[in-house]
């Protein structure tokens, strides 16, 4: 009873300290981290101490989320921009930040160069939708207005790729996948440009960067929410889904084109000349008429 009263009187930070310094947590951390345990505990206590929302999460959820940074060798101090532990309701999520994705991509040994920049009005000079080529020129900048975000990668074998999202696409993505952004607070609200840059960069790396075992693990664990039982789930979406800007107009257009193709195929079949010696059919995708035989 006395212990229960003491626990109720503790502040959220005191409760976290009691949990991470407790025998069970210390034994677990020692078994996993070995000599790195104390450095990990010191870093995590500092991170939680600077985030009142993180202090409200279940302490073990915070610990388990932070542990995902260890095998990746990424520090969780958010101001460094490599990785972070983000509050998500009562639990915590592990998120890899912009510098973390650059670091993991470079560690593959197959990346020659990466660029990740905001694009101001006038700086996007040319876009070729057929080749995927973009031309940017910072000397053409007309104002400080940000119109989009770009990421570029060049591999040692000569392959290169650019990804560009407009600011509208980034906002749509944030509204779809960030619960806190919808409510007007959180990391997307406080660091919008940084989150846009990271998201576009992640899209590029997930799609086009050679995947080391380490990078595959990062893609798997990024943005997972961990509960107190060390069970991780994707709160909003699967990792492949979160790399795509969502555009309902484009989706509707694709659906309409598919329906149109089916209608055209039906018309083609009906209007095809009937010959006893020939079997006439139409390609269901293109509507093209062809003979299968006599």
Element (H, E) at 206: helix 192-208
Residue pair 174/239 in contact by the 8 Å Cβ criterion:
no
Nearest CA among 279, 287, 280, 289 for reference residue 262: 287
Query: Across residues 84-105, what is the average pLDDT?
Result: 92
Distance separating alpha carbons of residues 279 and 294, to the nearest angstrom = 7
Q: How open is the CA angle 100-102-108, to the nearest 5 degrees?
A: 105
Q: What residue segments make up the domains of the chain, in order of their start?
A: 2-79, 98-243, 248-291
Give the model confidence (pLDDT) of 139-190 as tens digits.
Answer: 999 999 999 999 999 999 999 999 999 999 999 999 988 877 888 887 888 8
Nearest CA among 233, 155, 240 for reference residue 206: 240
C-alpha distances in Å from residue 199, one per residue of 111, 139, 190: 19, 26, 15
- What is the C-alpha R_g of the chain? 26
Give the model confidence (pLDDT) of 104-121 as tens digits.
Answer: 999 999 999 999 999 999
Query: Percent of the chain at pLDDT above 90?
Result: 59
Torsion region of 263: left, alpha or beta (phi above 0 gives left; psi -120 to 50 gives alpha): alpha
Cβ neighbours, 10 Å, residue 125:
11
Residue pair 132/208 in contact by the 8 Å Cβ criterion:
no
Give the model confidence (pLDDT) of 39-89 as tens digits.
Answer: 999 999 999 999 998 999 999 999 999 999 999 999 999 889 999 998 888
Q: Which DSSP letter does residue 34 get?
A: G
pTM (whole model) above 0.85: no
């Amino acid at each position: 009873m006395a212990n229960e009263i003491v626990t109720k009187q503790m502040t959220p930070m005191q409760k976290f300290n009691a949990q991470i310094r407790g025998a069970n947590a210390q034994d677990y951390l020692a078994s996993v981290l070995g000599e790195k345990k104390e450095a990990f505990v010191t870093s995590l206590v500092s991170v939680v101490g600077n985030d009142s929302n993180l202090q409200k999460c279940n302490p073990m959820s915070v610990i388990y989320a932070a542990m995902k940074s260890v095998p990746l060798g990424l520090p969780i101090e958010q101001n460094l921009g490599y990785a972070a532990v983000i509050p998500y309701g009562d639990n915590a999520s592990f998120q890899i930040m912009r510098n973390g994705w650059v670091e993991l991509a470079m560690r593959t040994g197959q990346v020659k160069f990466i660029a990740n920049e905001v694009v101001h009005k006038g700086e996007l000079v040319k876009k070729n939708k057929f080749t995927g080529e973009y031309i940017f020129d910072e000397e053409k900048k007309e104002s400080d207005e940000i119109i989009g975000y770009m990421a570029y990668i060049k591999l040692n074998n000569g392959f290169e790729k650019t990804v560009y999202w407009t600011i509208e696409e980034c906002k749509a993505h944030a509204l779809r996948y960030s619960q806190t952004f919808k409510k007007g607070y959180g990391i997307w609200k406080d660091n919008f440009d940084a989150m846009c840059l990271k998201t576009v960069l992640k899209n590029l790396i997930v799609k086009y960067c050679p995947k080391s075992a380490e990078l595959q693990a990062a893609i798997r664990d990024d943005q997972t929410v961990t509960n107190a039982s060390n069970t991780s789930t994707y709160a909003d979406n699967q990792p492949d889904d979160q790399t795509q800007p969502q555009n309902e107009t484009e989706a509707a257009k694709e659906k309409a084109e598919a329906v149109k193709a089916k209608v055209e195929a039906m018309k083609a079949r009906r209007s095809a000349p009937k010959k006893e010696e020939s079997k006439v059919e139409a390609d269901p995708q293109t509507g093209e008429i062809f003979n299968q035989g006599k």
